[in-house]
C-alpha cells in the first residue's frame, strides 16, 4: 500500500473505523456507540476506502465481511456475528449488515452506492428522491432516522457557534425555536460563575 490522501475524506473514514474498533475492544462503556458508528460506516461507505492515520497507508476493501474480520489497524478484528450482537438493539443497522453480507455485489451496483440499493429495497420512496437528486444519501439518512444530525462547533469562534446553534434550533424546533433558544440561554446561565 502507498501513502496517499486524495482529499476525499479518507482520513475521516479512518477516524470512524478507529473509534468503532476501540469501542469494540474497550467493552461496556463504549459499546453504546457501536450501532451509530456502524450505521455511519455503512451509509457513508467509510469502510471501503480510507487512509490509516497512524501509517499513512491507503486501505481498501471490496467485501464488508473482509473488512470486519481483518485485524486492526486495517479492519475491525471481529466477526459478523459479534458485530450483529453489538448492534442487537438497532434492527435497522442489523438489516444493513445482513444486506452487505448476503449481497456483497450490492455494495455498488452499476456505480450506485450501497445506500441507494438499500433504500430501493426498504424505502422505495426515499430511493426515488435520491435518484432524482431531490435528496442526497446523507439527507435521507437524517430524514429516515438512520443518522442523527450533528453540528461541529468551534468554541474559539463565538459568533459562528451562536449562529450554528440558532440554525440547529430552527431546523429542529421550527416555529418554536425562540422558545427553545430562551430555554437554552436559561440553562447556560446556570453555568455562569
Over residues 74-132, the pLDDT tens digits come to 999 999 999 999 999 999 899 889 988 887 655 554 445 667 777 888 888 888 887 78
Q: Which pTM value belongs to this model?
A: 0.55
Residue 33 has pLDDT above 80, yes or no: yes
In a domain, 148, yes or no: no
The residue whose grid cell reads 497507508 is 57
Do 136 and 165 fall within a single domain? no
pLDDT at 1: 43
Residue 18 has pLDDT above 60, yes or no: yes
pLDDT at 4: 47
In a domain, 40, yes or no: yes
Give the span between the Cα atoms of 51 and 56, in whole angstroms.
6
Residue 54 has pLDDT above 80, yes or no: yes
Supply the mean pLDDT for the chain.
81
Do 90 and 57 fall within a single domain? yes
Give the span between the Cα atoms of 39 and 100, in whole angstroms.
12
Do 132 and 171 fall within a single domain? no
SS3 109: strand
Give the span between the Cα atoms of 12 and 38, in whole angstroms.
14
In a domain, 1, yes or no: no
Do 138 and 166 fall within a single domain? no
Do 101 and 175 fall within a single domain? no
Report percent pLDDT > 90 for the chain.
18
In a domain, 16, yes or no: yes
Do 131 and 162 fall within a single domain? no
In a domain, 3, yes or no: no
In a domain, 20, yes or no: yes
Segments forming the whole domain that contains residue 182: 158-189
Domain total in the chain: 2
Amino acid at each position: 500500500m502507498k501513502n496517499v490522501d486524495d482529499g476525499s475524506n479518507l482520513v475521516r473514514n479512518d477516524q470512524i473505523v478507529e473509534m468503532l474498533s476501540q469501542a469494540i475492544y474497550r467493552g461496556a462503556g463504549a459499546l453504546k456507540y457501536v450501532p451509530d458508528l456502524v450505521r455511519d460506516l455503512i451509509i457513508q461507505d467509510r469502510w471501503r476506502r480510507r487512509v490509516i492515520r497512524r501509517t499513512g497507508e491507503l486501505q481498501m476493501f471490496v467485501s464488508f465481511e473482509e473488512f470486519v474480520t481483518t485485524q486492526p489497524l486495517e479492519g475491525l478484528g471481529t466477526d459478523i456475528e459479534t458485530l450483529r450482537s453489538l448492534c442487537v438493539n438497532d434492527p435497522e443497522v442489523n438489516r444493513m449488515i445482513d444486506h452487505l453480507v448476503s449481497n456483497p455485489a450490492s455494495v455498488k451496483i452499476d456505480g450506485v452506492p450501497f445506500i441507494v440499493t438499500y433504500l430501493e429495497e426498504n424505502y422505495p420512496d426515499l430511493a426515488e428522491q435520491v435518484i432524482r437528486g431531490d435528496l442526497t444519501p446523507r439527507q435521507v439518512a437524517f430524514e429516515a432516522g438512520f443518522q442523527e444530525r450533528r453540528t461541529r462547533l468551534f468554541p474559539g469562534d463565538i459568533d459562528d457557534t451562536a449562529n450554528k446553534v440558532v440554525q440547529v434550533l430552527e431546523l429542529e424546533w421550527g416555529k418554536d425555536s425562540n422558545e427553545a433558544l430562551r430555554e437554552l440561554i436559561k440553562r447556560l446561565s446556570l453555568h455562569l460563575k
